[in-house]
Amino acid sequence: MSFTTKATITTFGGRLLKLSHPSKTTTTPMALNLYLPPAALVPTPTRVPLLIYLSGLTCSPENCTEKGFFQHRASQLGLALLWPDTSPRGLNLPGEKDAWDFGEAASFYIDATQEPFAGGYKMETYLTKELPEVLFGDEEFGEYLDKERVSITGHSMGGHGALTLYLKHRGLYKSVSAFAPIANPSQCPWGEKAFKGYLGEDREAWKAHDATELLGKCEKRDNVKMLVDVGTGDNFYKQGQLLPENLEKAAQEAGVEGFTLRYQEGYDHSYYFMASFADEHVEHAAKHLGLL
Ligand SMILES: N[C@@H](CCC(=O)N[C@@H](CSC=O)C(=O)NCC(=O)O)C(=O)O
């Protein structure tokens, strides 16, 4: 058994598990939460599809588990949910805890190439290789999950993570959605700071981790199955940290099909926004996972 179970909570007829496991990739323990819907549990373990949610800056797996309200619709549709952590914790690297938008809880879901982060800040490899191997291969939880039917979503920094992992690892996820994503990190203050620290000064190297650049390289025939929501009252959007208009322009220029960007009037950057549209993002994933 790969995981230590810290808590088991019954909710919406399913089971919420607060888990931890030792990661070879990050060299640290990694926390994560897993929700198994009723359809996975009765009468015997049954494999259900999985939606992964990547959280934003400063978050642990708890923020969205407690305030996102994804479990309600996921329970009804028979969709498992997974909330990984936002970075390794406990490495005690110099500069790792100096700011809330860089270092711990701010990994940007990439593999760092710059010291001192290159050793453990390998969140892309962790999320796309190690975690699926460990979770789907686990003797306790593997039998509840269909490893062939996985989608991804996320918020803010996690929206950037969801969009880029989907575009970089085509075929790994059936669909993607994002709430207020950092859509063009090479061009905004948060992204510039993170990419300089994790990837170095070469801006060309940043493009491989930027959703707008990646979407711009797609071809007309690519059907990207991508839903993005941004609130018009979001202060980070107003400050130019998110740049969804650049993502939309890239989609239009590439002529890709399946891209939907919606501006939601009056909504801010908080979990009140995510909770309001959680059902629709769960349904977007469910549609592409064969549940609707
Ligand atoms: N410094 C503030 C703001 C941090 C913040 O707003 N974080 C967002 C994600 S921002 C982009 O990735 C968040 O989800 N916060 C957690 C929450 O529960 O709202 C701070 O430290 O609060």
> Which is the closest atom of ligand 1 to the Cα of 63?
18
Radius of gyration of the CA atoms of the chain, in A: 18
Task: State the complex-level ipTM.
Answer: 0.94
> Which is the closest atom of ligand 1 to the Cα of 59?
16
pLDDT for 226-253, tens place per residue? 999 999 999 999 999 999 999 999 999 9
Between the CA of 43 and the centroid of ligand 1 the distance, in Å, is 40
Position 59 scores a pLDDT of 98
| CA-proximal residue: ligand 1, atom 14 (nearest) | 56
Question: Is residue 200 predicted with pLDDT exceeding 90?
Answer: yes
Looking at the annotation, which residues are catalytic? 156, 234, 269
Of 53, 55, 58, the one to substitute when testing ligand 1's pocket (max ligand atoms within 8 A of C-beta) is 58
Position 285 scores a pLDDT of 98
Position 240 scores a pLDDT of 98
CA angle 150, 180, 69 (to 5 degrees): 60
Q: How confident is the model at residue 43 (pLDDT cuts 50, 70, 90)?
A: confident
Between the CA of 192 and the centroid of ligand 1 the distance, in Å, is 18
For 176, the token pair is 């993607």
Between the CA of 56 and the centroid of ligand 1 the distance, in Å, is 7
Position 222 scores a pLDDT of 84
Who wins on pLDDT, 63 or 44? 63
Alpha-carbon distance 49 to 292, whole Å?
A: 12
pLDDT for 11-24, tens place per residue? 999 999 999 999 99
For 279, the token pair is 């059902």
Question: Is residue 205 predicted with pLDDT exceeding 90?
Answer: yes
Rounded mean pLDDT, 96-106 = 98
Tokens 């979770």 correspond to 135
User: 215 near 255, Cβ under 8 Å?
Assistant: no
Position 221 scores a pLDDT of 83
Position 220 scores a pLDDT of 82
Of 53, 55, 57, 242, the one to substitute when testing ligand 1's pocket (max ligand atoms within 8 A of C-beta) is 57
Between the CA of 156 and the centroid of ligand 1 the distance, in Å, is 9
The percent of residues in the chain predicted with pLDDT above 70, rounded, is 100
User: 109 near 158, Cβ under 8 Å?
Assistant: yes
Alpha-carbon distance 46 to 12, whole Å?
A: 17
**CA distances for 51 relative to 16, 19, 278, angstroms:** 14, 17, 12
Which are the contacts of 27, defined by CB distance < 8 A and separation ≥ 6? 88, 91, 119, 120
> Which is the closest atom of ligand 1 to the Cα of 236?
10
| CA-proximal residue: ligand 1, atom 16 (nearest) | 59
User: 17 near 33, Cβ under 8 Å?
Assistant: yes
Instruction: Provide the 10 A C-beta neighbour count for residue 288.
Output: 20
pLDDT for 116-168, tens place per residue? 999 999 999 999 999 999 999 999 999 999 999 999 999 999 999 999 999 99
Position 254 scores a pLDDT of 94
Position 223 scores a pLDDT of 86
> Which is the closest atom of ligand 1 to the Cα of 180?
11
> Which is the closest atom of ligand 1 to the Cα of 67?
18
Q: How many residues does the chain have?
A: 292
The percent of residues in the chain predicted with pLDDT above 90, rounded, is 96
Between the CA of 13 and the centroid of ligand 1 the distance, in Å, is 30
Q: What DSSP line would sit under 2-68, residue for residue? A: --EEEEEEEETTEEEEEEEEE-TTTSSEEEEEEEE-HHHHSSS---EEEEEEE--TT--HHHHHHHS
pLDDT for 75-93, tens place per residue? 999 999 999 999 999 999 9
Between the CA of 58 and the centroid of ligand 1 the distance, in Å, is 5
Q: What are phi and psi of 49, to 5 degrees?
A: -70, 170
Question: Is residue 1 predicted with pLDDT exceeding 80?
Answer: no
Mean pLDDT score across all residues of the chain: 97
Pocket of ligand 1 (CB under 6 A): 56-59, 63, 100, 155-157, 269-271
